[in-house]
Chains A and B, each alone.
Chain A
Amino acid sequence: MAKIKLEKLPLARREKPGPSNRFGAFDVVIFIILLVFAFSIIFPFYYLFVVSVTPQEIYVNNPTLLWTPKVSFEAYETVFKEPQIWGGLKITLILLFGGTLYQMFFTVITGYALSRKNWVGKNFVMNMILVTMFFGGGLIPYYELIVALGMPDTIWVMIIPGAIDTFNMLLMRNYFASLPKELEESAKIDGANDIQIFVKIFLPLSLPMLATVGLFFAVGNWNSWYNGMLFNKSQNLKTLQQVLQDVVYTPNSSIPNPNARKITTESIKMAAIFFTIIPMMLFYPFLQRFFVKGIVVGAIKG
Chain B
Amino acid sequence: MRTKYFLLLTAGAIASLSLNGCGAKTKSDEYDRYNRLKISVSNLYFGDYEGGDSYLEQIQNDFGVKFTLYSYPWDTWEQKVSGEVNSRNLSDVFHANIDSYNFGSSYKFWAEDGILKPLPEDLSRWPNLNAMLENTSNIDALKLNGKLYGIPVAKNTSDYSCTFSPFTYIYRRDWAKKYGVYQENDEYTWTQFEALLKAFKKNLPSDTYALGDVEWGAPSITNFYKQVPHCFAYDEATNKYVCNYTTNEYIKGLNEAKRFKQQGYYYEAQNEAADGELNKLYYGNRIGVFYENLSYTNFNDLRRQLITSNTDTPNFNIDDAVAIMKIRGEDGKYVLEGTDNWFSMTLFDNRISNKKLEKILDILDYLLSEEGTRFAIYGFEGYDYNMVDGKVVIDEDYWPKELDGEYARKDNGGKYLRYLATLGYDTLSYDPLTHKPTVKYLENWEKEMHEAYDNGELKVLKERTEVMWLTTKWKSKLSGGMRKAALKNAMKYMWSDPEVDTISKYKDKFGYPWPEVLEEINNALGK
Q: Are A250 and B276 in contact (CB under 8 A)?
A: yes
Which B394-411 residues have C-beta < 8 A from chain A?
Answer: 409
Q: Are A259 and B284 in contact (CB under 8 A)?
A: no
Q: Which of A168-176, A183-191, A231-239, A274-282 contacts B (4 or more CB under 8 A)?
A: A231-239
Q: What residues of chain B lie closer than 8 Å to A252, measured between beta carbons?
A: 74, 216, 275
Kindly state whether residue A182 has any CB partner on chain B within 8 Å.
no
Q: What residues of chain B lie closer than 8 Å to A143, measured between beta carbons?
A: 83, 86-87
With A and B bound together, what is the CA distance between A70 and B298 in angstroms? 29
Q: Are B308 and A234 in contact (CB under 8 A)?
A: no
Which B79-128 residues have C-beta < 8 A from chain A?
Answer: 83, 86-89, 91, 97
Q: Which of A144, A250, A258 contacts B275 (CB 8 A)?
A: A250
Q: Hey, what's the 0/1 contact readout for A210-254 against B, CB within 8 Å counting as 1?
A: 000000000000000000011001111000000001100111111
Kindly state whether residue A57 has any CB partner on chain B within 8 Å.
yes
With A and B bound together, what is the CA distance between A145 and B276 in angstroms? 37
Q: What residues of chain A lie closer than 8 Å to B87, measured between beta carbons?
A: 143-144, 147
Q: Are A255 and B74 in contact (CB under 8 A)?
A: yes
With A and B bound together, what is the CA distance between A268 and B79 in angstroms? 28
With A and B bound together, what is the CA distance between A149 and B421 in angstroms? 33
Q: Are B20 and A148 in contact (CB under 8 A)?
A: yes
Which B431-477 residues have C-beta < 8 A from chain A?
Answer: 433
Q: Are B17 and A253 in contact (CB under 8 A)?
A: no
Q: Which of B45, B304, B309 contacts A57 (CB 8 A)?
A: B309
Kindly state whether residue B182 has any CB partner on chain A within 8 Å.
no
Q: Are A236 and B50 in contact (CB under 8 A)?
A: yes
Minimum C-beta distance from A157 to chain B (A): 11
With A and B bound together, what is the CA distance between A260 and B83 in angstroms? 28
Q: Are B155 and A61 in contact (CB under 8 A)?
A: no
Q: Are B48 and A260 in contact (CB under 8 A)?
A: no
Which B195-219 residues have C-beta < 8 A from chain A?
Answer: 214, 216-217
Q: Are A254 and B83 in contact (CB under 8 A)?
A: no
Known: A56-B308, A144-B18, A233-B42. A256 touches B155 (CB 8 A): yes
How many A-B residue pairs have C-beta atoms within 8 angstroms? Tell me: 122
Q: Which of B255-263, B289-297, B385-393, B501-509 contacts A (4 or more CB under 8 A)?
A: B289-297
Q: What residues of chain B lie closer than 8 Å to A140, measured between beta carbons?
A: 86
Kindly state whether residue A178 has any CB partner on chain B within 8 Å.
no
Known: A60-B309, A148-B21. A245 touches B425 (CB 8 A): no
With A and B bound together, what is the CA distance between A236 and B44 in angstroms? 16
With A and B bound together, what is the CA distance between A205 and B73 in angstroms? 47
Q: Are B73 and A246 in contact (CB under 8 A)?
A: yes
With A and B bound together, what is the CA distance between A144 and B275 in angstroms? 32
Known: A144-B18, A246-B73, A256-B295. A61 touches B284 (CB 8 A): yes
Q: What residues of chain B lie closer than 8 Å to A260, measured between beta carbons?
A: 297, 300-301, 409, 433
Q: Which of A230, A234, A259 contacts B70 (CB 8 A)?
A: A234
A251's closest neighbor in chain B, by CB?
B74
Kindly state whether residue B238 has any CB partner on chain A within 8 Å.
no
With A and B bound together, what is the CA distance between A38 and B167 in angstroms? 46
Q: Are B21 and A254 in contact (CB under 8 A)?
A: no
Q: Are B17 and A148 in contact (CB under 8 A)?
A: yes
Q: Hey, what's the 0/1 contact readout for B274-292 against A, CB within 8 Å counting as 1?
A: 0110011001111000001
Kindly state whether residue B75 has any CB partner on chain A within 8 Å.
yes
A246's closest neighbor in chain B, by CB?
B73
Q: Are A254 and B50 in contact (CB under 8 A)?
A: no
Kindly state whether residue A152 has any CB partner on chain B within 8 Å.
yes
| Interface set of B (CB-CB < 8 Å, partner A) | 2-3, 6, 17-18, 20-21, 42, 44-45, 47-48, 50, 70-76, 83, 86-89, 91, 97, 155, 167, 214, 216-217, 275-276, 279-280, 283-286, 292-293, 295, 297-298, 300-301, 304-305, 308-313, 343, 409, 419, 423-425, 433
Listed by A's residue number, 16 A-B pairs whose Cβ atoms lie within 8 Å are A56-B308, A57-B308, A57-B310, A143-B86, A147-B89, A246-B73, A252-B216, A253-B293, A254-B216, A254-B217, A255-B97, A256-B343, A258-B423, A259-B45, A260-B433, A261-B297
The 3 A-B pairs at the shortest CB distance, nearest first, are namely: A250-B276, A60-B284, A233-B70
